[in-house]
Amino acid sequence: MCKRLKANPATQHIPIIFVTALESAEDEETGLELGAVDYLTKPLRAGILRARVRNFLTMLRQQELLQELALLDPLTEIPNRRALDRTLEQEWGRCQRIHEPLSLAMVDIDHFKSFNDTYGHGAGDRALRQVAQALTSAAKRPGDLVARYGGEEFVILLPHASRNGARKLCRMVRHHIETLAIPHQGSDFGVLTVSIGGVTLWPHRNGSPAEILQRADAQLYRAKNAGRNRVFWEEDTGEL
C-alpha cells in the first residue's frame, strides 16, 4: 500500500506513519525506506499518535507555504518567472491535447529607467505594483495567469482565449494603465504607459513553450519601435 501511494502523483506527498506490531530494526528500516515519515510500534498511546500526526501536518503546511512563496514575486505579490514557466508548460500541453488556442502577451512599462531616475526607486516600486494590479484585475478568468517576467516586464497568459478576445483584453489593459495618469516626464505621453506584444497560436508537437514567448516578444519589439503605448498582435498593424 505504501508503494502504491508513493507511486501515485496525487498521493505521493501524503505523510505516512506506520503503526504496527512489527518491532524489529529491519522492519522499521524497511518502512522508512518505503517512504514513511514515522514508524510506531504497538502498544501505542493514542495521545502520542495524535501528536505525531499533528506535527507532521504542521510541517506539511509549512512546506506548502514555502513552495507557494517561492513562486511569488515579493514586490508585486503576483506569480514570478518560475511560476510562469511551470504554468506555460502545463497549458501548452493541455491546449495541444484538446486542440485549443493559447494566447500570450508580453507587457513592458515604457521608459521605466527614466521613470526611476526621475522619481526614485520607491515610486518605481509603487508603479510596478499598480501595473501588476491592473493586469490581474483584467485577466481574471479561471486559468488566466499574470506573472512578473523580470524588471519592468510582465506576461499575461490566456489559455483557450481567441485572438480577438485576447487582443481586446490587452487593448483595454493598455488604456486602463494610461488612464491611471501616473506622471512620467520622460514619456511622450506625459504619463506612465505600457507597450504590449501578443500572439495566439495552437500548440503543436513540433513546437515548444519558448516559441510563444519569442513570438510575443517580437511583437513587443514592434510596438516599442512604433512609438510605444501600443498593442501589437501578430499580423496586426498595431493600434493605440
**Domain topology for 2-70:** Rossmann fold (3.40.50)
What is the rounded average pLDDT of the residues 12-34?
89
In the chain, ranges of CATH 3.30.70.270 domains:
81-233
pLDDT in the model for residue 69: 66
Q: Which three cell numbers stand for residue 141?
A: 478568468
Report the percent of the chain where pLDDT is more than 90: 65
What end-to-end distance do the CA atoms of the chain give, in Å? 60
pLDDT value, residue 167: 95
DSSP state of 239: B
Looking at the chain, the domain(s) classified CATH 3.40.50.2300 span 2-70
Residues 31-42 as b or e (16 or more Cβ within 10 Å = b): beeeebbbbbee
Q: What is the pLDDT of residues 72-117, one digit of tens each?
A: 999 999 999 999 999 999 999 999 999 999 999 999 999 999 999 9
pLDDT at 240 over 50: no
Residue 103: phi, psi to the nearest 5? -110, 145
**Annotated catalytic residue within 26, 33, 91, 152:** 152
Give the rounded distance of the alpha carbon of 178 from its chain centre.
25
The length of the chain is 240
Q: Could you tell me where the beta strands, DSSP code E, fall in 2-110? A: 17-20, 38-41, 102-109
Q: What is the pLDDT of residues 173-231, one digit of tens each?
A: 999 999 999 999 999 999 999 999 999 999 987 788 999 999 999 999 999 999 999 99
pLDDT for res 168:
96
3-state secondary structure of 70: helix
Q: Give yes or no for residue 239 having a pLDDT over 70.
A: no
Q: In this predicted structure, which of 27-41, 129-143, 154-168 has the lowest mean pLDDT?
A: 27-41
Decide if 152 is catalytic.
Answer: yes
Q: For the domain covering 81-233, report its CATH number.
A: 3.30.70.270
- What's the pLDDT at 52? 86
The pLDDT score that the predictor gives to residue 147 is: 96
